[in-house]
Amino acid sequence: MSAVSPDGATPLLQVEDLHVAFDTRQGAVTALDGVSFSLAAGETLGIVGESGCGKSITALALMGLIPAPPGRLTGGRIDFAGRDIARLAESELRRLRGRDIAMIFQEPMTSLNPVFPVGAQIAEAILLHREIDRQAARREAVALLRTVGIPDAERRATAYPHELSGGMRQRVMIAMAISCRPKVLIADEPTTALDVTVQAQIFELMRRIQDEFGVALMLITHDMGAIAEMADRVAVMYAGRIVEQGLADDVLDRPLHPYTRGLIDCIPVLGKAAPDGRPPALSEIPGVVPPLHLIGDGCAFADRCSLAEPRCRRERPPLTGRRHGVACHVTAAQAT
Amino acid sequence: MSAVTERPAAAPARPVSPFGEAWRMFRSNRPALFGLVLLGAIVAAVGYGTLFHPADPYEIVWAPLAAPGEAEGVPLGTDYIGRDILAGLLKGGGPTLAVGAAAALITVAIGITVGALAGFFGGWIDNLLMRLTEFFQVLPALLFAMVLVTLFSPSLTTIAVAIGVVSWPQTARLTRAEFLRIRELEYVTAARAVGARNGRIIGRVILPNALPPLIVSATLTVGVAILFEAGLSFLGLGDPNTMSWGLMIGANRAYILEAWWPVTFPGLAIFLTVLAVSLVGDGLNDAFNPKLRQR
C-alpha cells in the first residue's frame, strides 16, 4: 500500500491510510478516505483535484489543523522524522508547525494580519521558534524579504499588507514560511489568486527556495499546468481518495484514470482550432463532485465517467500499481 | 543573485497603519473634531479651571439662591445654601469624568474578556459565558446599580464598579461577534500554521482586528456612564461627600421652580460632555468604517 519514492530514498514524510471525518447533520461524512503518499526531501509532490475533493483537508491534517469539532482524524498515520504526528499532543504539534512543516495559503490578500507591518509579522514567526532577541529577528525578517526577491526590503518590512500587491504579499508569506527552515513546505493553491505573469514568478521563486533549502514541497492545485511545471510526482484526488498517482511525466503523458484525462483535456490549448477555423469548444467533465454523504459503495466518479461499467457502481476500485497507480476497474490493467 | 525580483510598485513614502488611516479620516470629520475640541475644553476646564476661579465649592459665599451675576465673584450664582455654583462645576467635573472613564474601563475589561473567550473557544465555554451575559443583561441596570450602591458605601469607586458591572454585557456580545467573524479568517489559520498558541492568537491576532468597534463602543460607554452617575446622584445614591454634577442637580432639585440656575448649569455641563463624547464616538465609528473611507 505504501508508496515508495521512485529514487528509493527514505521518505521524509509518509502518510498512510489517512481517514478524516466531519460530523454533520447528515451524520459523519468521510472527507479523507484512506489517503497514502510519501514525500522525500527536495522533492515536489503535486496534489490535484477539483474543489471539495480533499486537497486542503489533507494539507490541514498534516499541520494538525483540522477544525475540530466538527472534523476529526479517524485513522491512519502521518510519519514525520520518526514520529506519528497524527497522534501528537497539541503542544508538540505547535512546536512542529512553522518550524518543521510550514504552509503557504491560497489568498495572500487575507492570510496576513492587516494591522501589523509585514516585517514585524515575519519577526514574530521567527520568535515563536527561535531563541533570539527582537532586534535580530527583525534583521532576519529583512534578510528573508530580500531572499524572496522583494526590492528595497528594509523599507518594505515596515509596510502594511494593504500597501503591497498580491504577488508581493505572497512573497511575504513565502518568506514567513521559510523563516524557520522547515523541512516540508505545503503550498495550498499558492498562485490561484494571482495574475498569470506573477504566477510564473512565484513558481520560479518556489523552485529557487527549494534548491536553496532542500525543502520538500507539497503543491496543492487544480491547475494541471502548474503540475507540469513544478511537480516531480503527482497524486490526483477525487472525493477524498487518491485515484491516480505516479511520476508527473507519466501521469501527464499517459493519464490512466478517466478523471485525470478529463482534467488534462480541460486545459485550453492556445492556437488550436477546429476544422472550421473557430476556436474549439472547451471540454469539461460533466457534473460535479458528489456531496460526500451521497457517495455509495461504488466508484465515486462513476456517475461522471464515460467508461463506467455496471461493476463501477457496485464496487470501489482499489489503488493498484506501484510506479504509476490508478484506482479504476476499467484501466487498472495498464497500471505499472 | 535572484532573477525573480518584482518591479517595485508605487508604494507610499511612509507606511500608514490602519489606525493612522482612521485618524486621517477622523481629522476630516467636522462634527467629530468639534466633539474632540469640546471634550478637550471640558477636561481642561475641569483640570485647570480652579486656577482661574479658586473658590471652595463647599464654602457658603453668599445668600442662598443668588441669581447669576447678582454677586460679584459668583458669576453663575449660588445654590440652595449659598455655595458658589461655578466652583462646584469646576470641582465636581473631576469626579464625574473619572467615574465615567473608570466605569467605561471596567465595562471594556469585563466585556472584552468574556466576549473574547466565548467567541474564540465556542462550545460549552461560549454557552456558559453567554448565559451569564444574558443573566446580567436582563437585570434592570439602574435598579441593580442602586442595589449595589446601597449595599456598599456610596463612594466613587462603588459607583464606578456598579456602572461597570451592569454595562458590560453589550461589550461582551460585540466582542464575541467580532471574534466569531475574525477567527474564521485565513490570517488566523495562518497564525496557527506558524505555531502560535491560543493566547497569542487571541491577544495579538484577533483582538487588534476587533478593536475598532470596541473603541467606538467604549467611547459611547463613557457618555452612558456619566449619565448613569448623574442619575444615581440625582436619586440621592451618590457619594454625598464628593462634589459631582449629578450631586449638584440632585441637591438643588427641590428649588427648581424658584431658581433655575443651580440645576441648569450642572445639567448643561453633563449635556455638553455627553454630546462631546458621542460626537467623538460617532466620528471614530465613521473613521474605522472602511466603506466610508475614500482615498
Q: Is residue B70 domain-resident?
A: yes
Q: What is the C-alpha to C-alpha distance for residues B169 and B166, in angstroms, rounded to an integer?
A: 7
B208 vs A: CB within 8 A: yes
Distance between A73 CA and the closest CA of chain B, angstroms: 18
Report CB contact under 8 Å: A115, B192: no
CATH number for the domain that contains residue B83: 1.10.3720.10
Exposure string for A14-36, b = 16+ CB within 10 A, e = fewer:
bbbebbbbbeeeeeebbbbbbbb
Report CB contact under 8 Å: B17, A160: yes
Identify the DSSP state of A116: S
Per the rule left: phi > 0, alpha: psi between -120 and 50, beta: everything else, B197 is beta
A159 vs B: CB within 8 A: yes
Report CB contact under 8 Å: A128, B196: yes
Q: Is residue B56 domain-resident?
A: yes
Distance between A313 CA and the closest CA of chain B, angstroms: 38
Q: Is residue B21 domain-resident?
A: no
Please, which pLDDT band fits residue B71 given cuts at 50, 70 and 90?
confident
Work out the average pLDDT over B147-175: 88
Positions of chain A with pLDDT under 70: 1-9, 271-275
E-only strand ranges, chain B: none
Distance between A142 CA and the closest CA of chain B, angstroms: 15
Report CB contact under 8 Å: B194, A65: no
Closest to A41 in 3D by CA, of A98, A101, A99, A94: A101
Write down the pLDDT at residue A274.
Answer: 66
Residue with cell 459668583: B74
Write down the pLDDT at residue B268.
Answer: 92
In this predicted model, which residue has the larger pLDDT, B96 or A26? B96
Q: How high is the ipTM of this complex?
A: 0.82
B10, pLDDT greater than 50: no
Q: Is residue B294 domain-resident?
A: no
Write down the pLDDT at residue B290.
Answer: 60
Distance between B97 CA and the closest CA of chain A, angstroms: 31
Query: What is each CA distance from B141 to A225, B152, B214, B217, B250, in whole angstroms?
Result: 64, 17, 21, 17, 20
Write the pLDDT tens digit of every residue in A9-23: 578 889 989 999 888
Closest to A48 in 3D by CA, of A257, A239, A224, A284: A224
Please, which pLDDT band fits residue B36 given cuts at 50, 70 and 90?
very high
C-beta neighbour count of B47 within 10 angstroms: 13
Write the pLDDT tens digit of every residue in A83-112: 888 888 888 888 889 889 999 988 888 889
The three cell numbers locating residue A157: 518590512
Number of domains in chain B: 1
Query: First and final CA of chain A: distance in angstroms?
Result: 14
Q: Is residue B99 domain-resident?
A: yes
Residues of A whose CB is below 8 A from B2: 147, 149, 205, 208
Report CB contact under 8 Å: B15, A112: no
Please, which pLDDT band fits residue B106 given cuts at 50, 70 and 90?
very high
B13 vs A: CB within 8 A: no
Please, which pLDDT band fits residue B11 given cuts at 50, 70 and 90?
very low
Q: Is residue B60 domain-resident?
A: yes
Residue A332 CB burial class (10 angstroms; 0-12, 13-18, ≥19): middle
The three cell numbers locating residue B291: 466603506
B17 closest CB neighbour out of A115, A173, A176: A115
- Interface with chain B: mutation pick from A97, A111, A154, A184, highest number of B CBs within 10 Å: A111
B37, pLDDT greater than 90: yes
Q: For residue B274, what are the domain limits?
A: 31-288
A111 closest CB neighbour out of B19, B186, B200: B186
Q: Is residue B1 domain-resident?
A: no
Q: Is residue B13 domain-resident?
A: no
Residue A150 CB burial class (10 angstroms; 0-12, 13-18, ≥19): buried
B12 vs A: CB within 8 A: yes
Report CB contact under 8 Å: A110, B194: no
